[in-house]
Amino acid sequence: MTKKRRSQAWYGKSDRDGFIHRSWMKNQGFPDHAFDGRPIIGICNTWSELTPCNSGLRELAEGVKRGVWEAGGFPVEFPVMSLGETQMKPTAMLFRNLLAMDVEESIRAYGIDGVVLLGGCDKTTPGQLMGAASVDLPTIVVSSGPMLNGKFKGKDIGSGTDVWKFSEAVRAGEMTLKDFMNAEAGMSRSKGVCMTMGTASTMASVVEAMGMSLPTNAALPAVDARRMALAHLTGKRIVEMVEEDLKLSDVINRASLENAILANAAVGGSTNAVVHLLAVAGRVGIDLTLEDFELGSEIPLLVNCMPSGKYLMEDFCYAGGMPVVLSELKDKLRPANTVMGGDISAYAEGAECYNTNVIRAMDNPLKPAAGLRVLKGNLAPNGAIIKPSAATDALLEHEAEAYVFESIEDMKANIDRDDLPVTPDTILVLKGCGPKGYPGMPEVGNMPIPAKLVKEGVRDMVRISDARMSGTAFGTVVLHVSPEANAGGNLALVATGDRIRLSVKEGALDVLVSDAVLAERRANWTADAPHYTRGYAKLYIDTVMQADKGADLDFLVGKDTRPVTRESH
């Protein structure tokens, strides 16, 4: 017996409620047979002109609709909050959980049987996955895709990664302001997300590795006709998933999350994947921990893309994309279901690498061990992370005195002082930039190198904070220190002149101060007053969990799959 579709509770009745639901939809020109019981597919779209990365999603939605109609479904597009990483203040991360709430409640409230998530920019993909996971319908992802390679003076340049380099070059007097502005004009040449292996492309890559999208979703450029074809095929597939009752929880489980961790290491993915995967796991009901990310610590770096390498996402696509990476990882991957209905190993079948400089083999990697490392110690009792593949090897084992910035304003006001008492060995510490403190845990962890040192040629130092950093950034940067300073973590107690020891080999991060001194400082410590006292931001500050828990809101963890029974009329 065919399972009664969820949408029939809205559109399958012959009473007043059914009349209202159907009649109002018919004002858009839908005929009677659109409501004959066929699967109704929601297209959850984060398109926005204020989110340039997602500005191509209107066109992709049309591709999805073509596939849904072809497969005998009824597509309905709906908007949700869009998070423009480069445009929003104080940080898009503050609103990731709000997007998740928007997605969850939209999916639950409307009469749809399955959903296609159209996202791209950094926080949209995890926010959509979190919201969809809490309702647990058949779900599939189409990413917006990366921009074409940036161009400047005849060379490829990458969004984010080269911005940081150019900015430091201007500060050092090595690049003119005119050249800097010319580079700006050539950086973003098409619609799409950052063409480096930043957070957006990282999340698209791990989504593919989890089996939550069709193969090749991660790397096809936004303006490539094959991405529109992929959208069409995705629309066709989501109808089949509804007929098979293949839900999100049938795809995202511990095995697929572990595959995401392995893939993130192999592609040199963003540190932001940690906080996002932890949050998604919490919605699905998987007890993923920070320690689980050590699964990727010995995985070699296979993808030679900025910021860990030299090429860009367009090159990654032409070299074969994620299917090639999954093929190289085949002996490491866990058996796991996918939106295609089979094992993730099928995504690698027939994969062929067309450029071994861009995608390396397991026996010839760019770096032998590329995964993120988890650090613990008295400075981060609940953990912190570092991305060795983007760091300076010589700084991964380091002990030195700290120079402390008490806030982002303190850092910005003083980082360029000629008399700043720092040397290349100094460890820079930034407080007050965690989930509660900023609020929203911004991408400021890769602090600028002090101007006086930039002029001496210094391009990297050990930097420690409770913040995040852009997936396009690089450097020996310790991030996500938990508990954060504003939650009373020991980071709040560090003072300029304290010695700090970092050992990536041992997974250790300690401030070399006695417990007695820390206790004395704690007795005199008070948290900074919150920056926001109303609206969603207050709700966020009051209920957000720490980075090691995914920085979700505590009352949103888990899911509610109960049917909606109360009518609005």
Whether the CB-CB separation of 286 and 261 falls below 8 Å is answered with no
Q: Are residues 319 and 404 in the same domain?
A: no
Alpha-carbon span 309 to 312, nearest angstrom: 9
245 lies in a domain?
yes
Q: How sure is the predictor about 160, in pLDDT bands with cuts at 50, 70 and 90?
A: confident
pLDDT above 70 covers a percentage of the chain that reads 99
* Domain shared by 454 and 510, yes or no: yes
Claim to verify: residue 37 and residue 124 sit in the same structural domain: yes
CATH number at residue 474: 3.50.30.80
Instruction: Give pLDDT, residue 418.
Output: 94
Q: Which two tokens stand for residue 448?
A: 């600028």
Q: Are residues 163 and 258 in the same domain?
A: no
Q: Would you give the DSSP letter of residue 556?
A: G
Domain tally, the chain = 3
Exposure string for 471-489, b = 16+ CB within 10 A, e = fewer: bbbbbbbbbbbbbbbbbeb
Average confidence (pLDDT) over 236-253: 98
User: Do 217 and 329 fall within a single domain?
Assistant: yes
In the block, tokens 């998933």 appear at: 241
pLDDT exceeds 50 at position 1: no
Give exposure, 432-451, as e/b (b: 16+ Cβ within 10 Å). Answer: bbbbbbbbbbbbbbbbbbbb
For β-strands 373-377 and 40-45, DSSP reports them as: unpaired
Q: Is 261 a member of any domain? A: yes
Q: Would you tell me the crossing angle of helices 57-70 and 225-244 to the nearest 10 degrees?
A: 50
Instruction: Render pLDDT for 294-319 as a digit per residue (tens, 0 to 9).
Output: 999 889 999 999 988 999 999 999 99
Same domain, 302 and 344: yes
Q: Are 397 and 271 found together in one domain?
A: no
- Indicate whether 442 and 473 sit together in one domain: yes
Could you tell me if residue 6 is inside a domain?
no
- Is pLDDT of 196 > 60? yes
Same domain for 228 and 250? yes
The CA-CA-CA angle for residues 139, 142, 147, to 5°, reads: 160
Confidence (pTM): 0.95
Determine the straight-line distance between the first and last CA of the chain, rounded to whole angstroms.
31
Residues 6+ away with beta carbon under 8 Å from 96: 83, 123, 126, 127, 130, 276, 279, 551
Q: Domain boundary residue among 331, 348, 365?
A: 348
Q: Say whether pLDDT at 390 is over 90.
A: no
Residues 123 and 230 in one domain: yes
330 pLDDT higher than 50:
yes
Residues 200, 170 share a domain: no
Per DSSP, the residues of 421-471 read ---TTPEEEE-S-STTTTTS--B--SPPPPHHHHTTT-----EEESSB--T
pLDDT at 282 over 60: yes
Q: What percent of the chain has pLDDT over 90?
A: 91
- On whether both 268 and 132 belong to a single domain, the answer is yes
Q: Assign residue 275 the CATH number of its domain.
A: 3.40.50.2300
Structure confidence at residue 161 (pLDDT): 80
Backbone angles phi, psi at 469, to 5 degrees: -135, 155
If phi > 0 it is left, if psi is from -120 to 50 it is alpha, else beta; for residue 521 that is: alpha
Rounded to an integer, what is the distance from CA 362 to the centroid of its chain? 25
Structural domain range at position 33: 13-149+189-348
Is residue 43's pLDDT more than 60?
A: yes
Greatest Cα-to-Cα distance within the chain, rounded to the nearest angstrom: 79
Considering only CA atoms, which of 181, 202, 190, 204 is closest in space to residue 150?
Answer: 190
